[in-house]
Amino acid sequence: MSRIALAFDLGGTELRAALVGDGGNLLAFASTPTRAKDGPDVVIEQIAMLAERTCSDVPDAKPLGIGIGAPGPLDPVAGILTAPPTLSGWREVPLAGRLQDRLNLPVRLENDANAAALGEWRFGAGRGAASLVFVTVSTGIGGGVISDGRIVHGRRGLAGEIGHMTITSESERCLCGAVGCFEAVASGTALGRRATALTKPGDGSALRTLSHDGDVTGRHVVEAARSGDETALGLIDREARWLGIGFTNLLHLYSPDMIVMGGGISHGYDLLRKPIEATIQERAMPAYRDVPVVPAQLGRHAGLVGAASLIFLN
């Protein structure tokens, strides 16, 4: 039987668990709403319960260990959740140690964006790369960086805060308070905001038809563009140009072998690809221009599979 890891993706709203084979294949899956507000003790019991449930689906399974992706900031070496904004009230929780005691298996902790990057690197779009940058473009922009065969952690595991790199002097104010963040101009939220500003309820536009005359989202723009709507295609072009500027920075700063693009907006990858590439050709220094931007392959399971890989690598 192949090696097996027990993997968790601890989100602020959903807790997901899987038994994962060492080929990155899911052998069993379970999820439950995270009772984050009830505190770490309750959530640790939820994790134990999901461990039992997934393991009972595969009776012979003997997991080698537990990998967990969790919201940062966290200390992956000490296995401590520092102060995750999406798990309010959690401060300095030694999650790895407590789970190790509870479930009697070695536990490895990684932040969720890095876990997803690991997943795509080991089992998805990034297989074989020595260095890659994984970028999720959805409500916000986040990411994880693999450089020379290792996750780039940096101080307190806080490296790779890609969404808050300043790339322009003009934008709506970002949620972080600064102006000009990559996320403020290129996230799905920013794309939706631009589409909403360009249209009006009741104007009969494709975008407002899709949104039922409510605010337009990034997903609506992708959908309208796919059906050939000119306004949406223009918005996609502008979106791709912002993505191209940000991706060019990532090329210059990390020199990855590839950029892997995930998140909700990556469903429009086929529409975004050409203008992203054109922007990179225009702005990147020659040595970086042939680095591919590819779509993520693992979707919502990237983090689970990446968390499992923490166990297989050790």
Identify which of 208, 240, 203, 248 has the alpha carbon closest to the alpha carbon of residue 224.
Answer: 208
Binding flag, residue 197, its own copies (CB under 8 A) = no
CB 299, min distance to its own copies, A: 26
With respect to its own copies, which residue has the nearer C-beta, 124 or 143? Answer: 143
Among 12, 97, 106, 180, binds its own copies (CB under 8 A): 180
Of 8 and 242, CB closest to its own copies: 242
- For the window 127-156, what string marks contact with its own copies as x by the rule CB under 8 A? ---xx---------------xx-x-xxxxx
264 binds its own copies (CB under 8 A): no
Can you read off the two tokens belonging to residue 283?
């702005």
Is 58 or 152 the residue whose CB approaches its own copies more closely?
152
Q: How many residues bind its own copies (CB under 8 A)?
A: 43
**Closest distance between its own copies and the C-beta of residue 29, in Å?**
32
Residue bearing tokens 């102006």: 179
Q: Could you give the residue ranges of the DSSP H alpha helices within 70-226? A: 95-103, 112-123, 182-186, 188-198, 206-210, 218-226
Site for its own copies in 203-232 (CB under 8 A): none
Beta strands in the chain (DSSP E): 4-10, 14-21, 26-33, 66-70, 74-75, 80-81, 107-111, 132-137, 141-147, 150-151, 258-262, 293-295
Among 62, 252, 274, 300, binds its own copies (CB under 8 A): 252
Residue 73 sits in the site that holds its own copies (CB under 8 A): yes
DSSP conformation letters of 242-284: HHHHHHHHHHHHH--SEEEEESGGGGGHHHHHHHHHHHHHHHS
Closest CA to 192 of 180, 165, 169, 210: 210
Residues that bind its own copies (CB under 8 A): 73, 130-131, 147-148, 150, 152-162, 164-170, 176-178, 180, 245, 248-249, 252-257, 282-283, 285, 287-288, 291
